[in-house]
Amino acid sequence: MLAEFIEALFSIFFIETLINGLLLGGLFALLSLGLNLIFGVIDVVWICYAEIIMLGMYTIFFLHVESGMPFIFAAAAGVAATSLLGWLTHRIVISYLLDAEPINQLLATGGLLFLFQGAAMVVFGIEFRNLGLSLGSLAVSEDIYLSQTRLIAFVISGTVVVVLYQFLSRSYLGTAIRAISQDREIMVLMGVDTKKLYLFTSAIGGGLAGLAAVLLVLQYDVHPFIGLSFGPITFMICVMGGLGNMIGGFLAAFVFSMLISVGGYFAELEWGYVLAFVVFIAIMFARPQGLLARKS
Amino acid sequence: MLNVKNVNAGYGKFQALFDVSLEVAAGEAVAVIGPNGAGKSTLMRVISGMIPAMTGTIELEGRSVLDAPPHEIVGMGLAHVPEHRRLFHGLTVDENLRMGCFKPQFRARFEERREFVYELFPRMMERRDQVAGTMSGGEQEMCAIARALMSDPRILLMDEPSAGLAPVIVHQVFDLVEQVRSKGLSVLIVEQNVNQVLRVVDRAYILESGSLHSEGTAEELLQSKEIQKSFMGM
């Protein structure tokens, strides 16, 4: 038994599992980024975040497959569309609830979840739609094959994380986004139009959902309920990292993806998820504030 | 410079200021003193646009403040050091200063203004990369004033700069007020520390239960028996 276990650890497939876990982590990191940004800055949880991603996937699918737009332009249009959707979400719903009870904010964005899902069902139907794009696999060695789409997703996620970090730490606007998360009321004295800054942040958050949509639509079929399959994981990653803490979310994304991959390697893939959720619950008992405590 | 006329203001249905009028001339330092809950902070907040006025007029160098969107007021030459300093605690000193210079028309002069405040407060230069929330109370007050000065204001509003500071630090804060004055700025300051503030200002108003009750030069008020009795516990 033990000998088998040790042998399995050094198997080539295990290395492949680790690499796949790493690649999946990149995708998770991107998924959690927008949600964390919005929560960290505006202090509102967008329960409908995964549904915004779903609508982004549909946008890309229809522009590319039905209208024949080259994928790269369809992807850019998808990001623009979700960015607009993020802007509208804040403008039409959240801006009126900034001083409301958190539970009312949750109910409102939860309502948006069903609105987006229902609208997608009515407009697009319930069929699973596939982009039909396959980039194939990359042979790293004789035995290790990596999915090219996952590799691209990883590189894009990494780039986005670095760019966003630079933006937040170096630019006036980025510094203001960090500042407003610490003290909203005082921003007016700095000459900042807080309404505009919130709208801008929401548009960026929406745009990040669009980027996630680009990477997901390359790997998964799109259907109105796809948000349910990764929405909960996205929330758990954010909560595990410390809600609103982007670095914590980044870390938690890799903890989750590794647990899923490694758990899936020793048993069925579903057991990987079970393992990840059990660890999540254990961490919540030990550190309810998340791996890295959320901003004070 | 600053002209406040017949201002009524408050929070929702609660009115905190009743028919308040005051003036600050160019280069003048004026204090508003009064007991807790008299409406001193509300007065400062109305002037800098943090809360709206119900009625009345506020003019800054002849331009109406109340007609401007609140976030444009800093661009008119008025900066406000709020009560409890309200620094961005997680940001460094340098980033706090950057926020004081946020408006696009100020950004080009960021380096120049930063040089100015570092010269005024060399301590801030030493602390430039320190996270603001980890500094001492006195340094935080200095940083809050420095942040306000980044927009090159012609009038500085200061709300209880000595509140919550250790007694040994308090006199240093009043030194800061004098330093700011030496640069030719007008100052409107709200304080509970009546005895000390009257030594750094030209005139003062006394605010009680939301109304201006009397005014006088700093010297007159320092001599006044009534003031000594009500505010200095003598």
Q: What is the pLDDT of residues B141-153, one digit of tens each?
A: 999 999 999 999 9
* Tally of CB atoms within 10 A around A14: 16
Strand segments (E) across A78-197: 137-139, 145-147
Contact of A172 with chain B, judged by CB distance below 8 Å, is answered with yes
| B232 vs B13: which has the higher pLDDT | B13
State the pLDDT at residue A149. 81
Q: Do B82 and A189 touch (CB under 8 A)?
A: yes
| Contact yes or no for A172 and B107 at CB 8 A | yes
Neighbours of A119 (CB within 10 A): 13
Sequence-distant (≥ 6) Cβ neighbours of residue B61 within 8 angstroms: B1, B76, B77, B154
Q: What percent of chain B has pLDDT over 90?
A: 69
Residues of B in contact with A190 (CB under 8 A): 74, 99-100, 102-103
Closest CA to A188 of B47, B141, B116, B180: B47
Unique residue bearing structure tokens 């009546």: B194
Q: pTM to 2 decimals?
A: 0.88
- Give yes or no for residue B35 having a pLDDT over 60: yes
- From A212's Cα to the closest Cα of chain B, the distance in A is 29
Let me know how many helices (H) and strands (E) chain A has, helices first: 11, 2
pLDDT band at A2 (very low <50, low <70, confident <90, very high): confident
Longest dimension (CA), chain A: 67
Is the separation of the CB atoms in B128 and B91 below 8 Å? no
Integer-rounded Cα Rg, in Å, for chain A is: 20
Higher pLDDT, A293 or A229: A229
Backbone angles phi, psi at A32, to 5 degrees: -80, -15
* Domains of chain B and CATH, by start: 2-85+154-231 (3.40.50.300)
CA distance A211 to chain B (A): 29
Which residues of chain B are within 8 Å of residue A185 when distances are taken between CB atoms? Answer: 50, 86
A-B Cβ pairs (cutoff 8 Å, strict): 63
Q: Does A295 score more than 70 pLDDT?
A: no
Nearest Cα residue to A190 out of B118, B144, B32, B51: B144
pLDDT of B141: 92
The answer to whether the CB atoms of B102 and A178 lie below 8 A apart is: no
**In contact, A242 and A17? CB cutoff 8 Å:** no
| Alpha helical stretches, state H, chain B | 40-47, 93-100, 104-107, 110-120, 122-126, 137-149, 167-182, 194-197, 218-223, 225-231
Contact A186 B71 (CB under 8 A): no
Of B8, B34, B44, B43, the residue nearest B207 (C-alpha): B34
Nearest chain A residue to B71 by CA distance is A191
End-to-end C-alpha distance for chain A, whole angstroms: 48
